[in-house]
Structure 1
Amino acid sequence: MRVLHIVTGLASGGAERQLHLLLRHLPAHQQCEVLALTNPGTVAEALRADGVTVHHLGMRGNRDLGALPRLVRLVRAGRYDLVHTHLYRAQLYGRLAARLAGVRAVVATEHSLHAGVIEGRPVTRGVKGLYLAAERLGSTTVAVSRQVAQTLHSWGVPPARVELIPNGIDAARFRRPPAERAAVRRRLRAELGLPERSWVVGGVGRLVPGKRFEVLVEALAELDPAARLVLVGAGPERAALERRAVELGVRERLVLTGERDDVPELLTAMDVLAAPSTAETFGLGALEGLAAGLPVRHSACPALDELPPSAAPQARRIPSEPAAYAAALRDLRHLDDHTADPLPHPPAVGHYDIARVAADLGALYDRLARA
């Protein structure tokens, strides 16, 4: 089976990294290629390193309608059995192009949808109308959490057209023997300029308003001078975060790594993972922190909300406010040092194992192709 994944871009965001991980674990008989409408970033490089063919359409913006004929020609020339789209722009153009090219099995994964927000932006009447029109061109929409599925149903998407398949994590990538972990930790702390005895709070995600990383910058100002904040990701909020850190006198204690493709390794340099976003549709970063053996403090994680509290005892939900994070982080700071011996995997990590998730998605592909 030949499958084409169409994605808006391939920067190192949660949806893009999830696509990369899925392609490593889908059944071997499903031969996948990837097409980025724009911005082929670090994930494109990682996919190519894995031997995956990556196409770049060179689309200039949401209204670059001239890209549609090029996309149709590429889909038709590839003779794909199934097209799978990811993120809003790719869902609009990809579903339409697949239909025009004669592909009947068309899947879309909805990674980031709330009742009034899609991919961090307000849902206008026009955006919702285009979304629903494109949805009718597909075969199935995959929801990554019950929350996303419920939003789709409230928008009028029939339940029979929605398949619940959560995101997954490759837990093995986040665990390593103690000696190796200690060596990686020392190397990365030195690379990032972190003092040997510093206590490191980490955040992972795109630097966009919805991630609310300014909450962590303000909380940092209330922590003792040995604390450092490492934010892994790139985005338009970088300059604003730097300015706020300067205003608070903590700029030298803030490390902005930019876009990286070694997140599992970077997590070993941290002592706690903090996720102050209130608008998550899954909460992949929190699960990755748990897989790396870190305590996690978060403000929204549907993946954990859908499980009993005993599934992740080292994770705690707190308000997305600087004072709440400062208090929670101070409490953790006083605990015994766990870093030489990371916390064990909680049941939540096994529940979202990527092998099981990829098998479910592969079965959906087979079913749609037969139909």
Structure 2
Amino acid sequence: MITGLAAGGAETQLRLLLRHSRHDAEVVTLYNAGSVADQLRADGVPVHDLGMRSNTEVGAVLRLARLIRRGRYDVVHTHLYRACLYGRVAARLAGVRTVVATEHSLLDDQLEGRSAGRGVRLLYLATERLGRATVAVSAATRDNLLRWGVAPERVLTVPNGLDLDALAFDPTDRAAVRADIGVGADARVVGAVGRLHPGKRFDELIRSLAPTLGESDQLLIVGEGPERASLTALAADLGVAPFVHLVGERPVAPALSAMDVLASPSRYETFGLAVLEGLAAGLPVVFRRCPAVDEMGGDVPGAIRIGSDADLATALAGVVARPARPAPDALTAFDVRGVAARIDDLYERV
């Protein structure tokens, strides 16, 4: 169960895990059955859209409980805040006691990019106790859960998974994507991947690159979201609109092959999936925050950490177009097959 199924990190991660699970599954979205819903259905996974019209539609809990009761599910697994609230309560009403949640986006006092006040925290804790276990996608997320008051024995850390084979550099994809967006073979392409949301700070990326953008230096941003119009306007105001490609939702792996360097200027990341995807594609990655890289320990080839906005342009300027490097060996710990197996083991254990 998930809050929505527009393209995003948690949503695509759910689809990837289901593709490698050894169990059958059906998916419920509270609302916004977007592109990932279509992808799941193409994979043969049934998707139910609860059709909620408001985040305070309490009656949806009863509809959800009826759906769970009809499905006779052994486990209910919830993802993202609203689905966790509604899903845990509905599962209990339906008589399903094996409820697991994955926490993707808790950072300090922010939850899914929004400030989490005392009321949000109390509601989170109250419903968390209705489940059997909460999965944290990083040690940083686990630390935040414990700081909020979740009991340590109820939290385990299982990282997001990567399809390393699918993310590997592909020269055919590189040529096809560049031809599609009108970028020459010899141009250097700086890339970014993520929801077009203020927290990702793609506006700062455009400003940092603006002085150098042109035919030989271009920016490719993969993702959709509420900031599309403002980012488009910013590129136009800075006179670089022809060299900033906002391509919307599309498969990430081919787009990564078209890039020469990936940038992640976000200050608030609870895992840093895009950073790892870039490294898996053989790209150098310039980033502000990535707990997953922190938890690898030591130097990670290709990972270039910056400390301030001023460092962003300097670090990107230092990366020249070059052939893809091998993915760092440390990424094998994130192979989706192993990650999915750990989630399956959890279902059976609880």
TM over 0.5, shorter chain? yes
Structure 1 CA distance, aligned partners of 2:336 and 2:120? Answer: 32
Structure 2 CA distance, aligned partners of 1:349 and 1:113? Answer: 23
Structure 1 CA distance, aligned partners of 2:49 and 2:64? Answer: 10
Q: What aligned pairs does 1:1-371 form with structure 2 within 5 A after superposition?
A: 6-27=1-22, 30-175=23-168, 181-225=170-214, 226-260=216-250, 262-310=251-299, 312-321=300-309, 323-333=310-320, 337-339=321-323, 342-368=324-350
Query: Residue 276 of structure 1 contacts residue 320 of structure 1 at CA under 8 Å; is this kept in 2?
Result: no
Structure 1: gaps of 5 or more residues: 1-5
1:216-255 CA distance string (max 9 Å, x none): 1011113252211111111111111112112211111110
Structure 2 CA distance, aligned partners of 1:249 and 1:270? Answer: 22
- TM normalised by structure 1 equals 0.92
**Residue aligning to 1:3:** none
Structure 2 CA distance, aligned partners of 1:268 and 1:146? Answer: 30
Q: Which runs of 4+ in 1 moved over 4 A?
A: none
Q: Which SS does the other structure have where 1:282 is aligned?
A: coil
The structural deviation recorded for 1:195 is 2.9
RMSD value over aligned CA atoms? 1.2
The structural deviation recorded for 1:36 is 0.7
Q: Which SS does the other structure have where 1:355 is aligned?
A: helix
Structure 2 CA distance, aligned partners of 1:82 and 1:224? Answer: 50
Structure 1 CA distance, aligned partners of 2:180 and 2:110? Answer: 37
Structure 2 CA distance, aligned partners of 1:52 and 1:20? Answer: 9
The structural deviation recorded for 1:320 is 4.5
Query: Residue 103 of structure 2 contacts residue 134 of structure 2 at CA under 8 Å; is this kept in 1?
Result: yes
- TM normalised by structure 2 equals 0.97
Query: Residue 262 of structure 2 contacts residue 284 of structure 2 at CA under 8 Å; is this kept in 1?
Result: yes
The structural deviation recorded for 1:319 is 2.6
Between 46-55 and 195-204, the greater mean CA deviation after superposition: 195-204
Structure 2 CA distance, aligned partners of 1:265 and 1:197? Answer: 17
Compared with structure 1, are the counterparts of its residues 320 and 14 closer, same or farther at alpha carbon in structure 2 (3 Å cutoff)? farther
Identical counterparts, % of pairs:
54
Query: Residue 213 of structure 2 contacts residue 243 of structure 2 at CA under 8 Å; is this kept in 1?
Result: no
The structural deviation recorded for 1:185 is 1.2
Q: Which SS does the other structure have where 1:316 is aligned?
A: strand
Structure 2 CA distance, aligned partners of 1:17 and 1:320? Answer: 29
Structure 2: gaps of 5 or more residues: none
Structure 2 CA distance, aligned partners of 1:124 and 1:163? Answer: 24
Compared with structure 1, are the counterparts of its residues 62 and 320 closer, same or farther at alpha carbon in structure 2 (3 Å cutoff)? farther
Letter in 1 for 2:187: S
Letter in 2 for 1:100: L
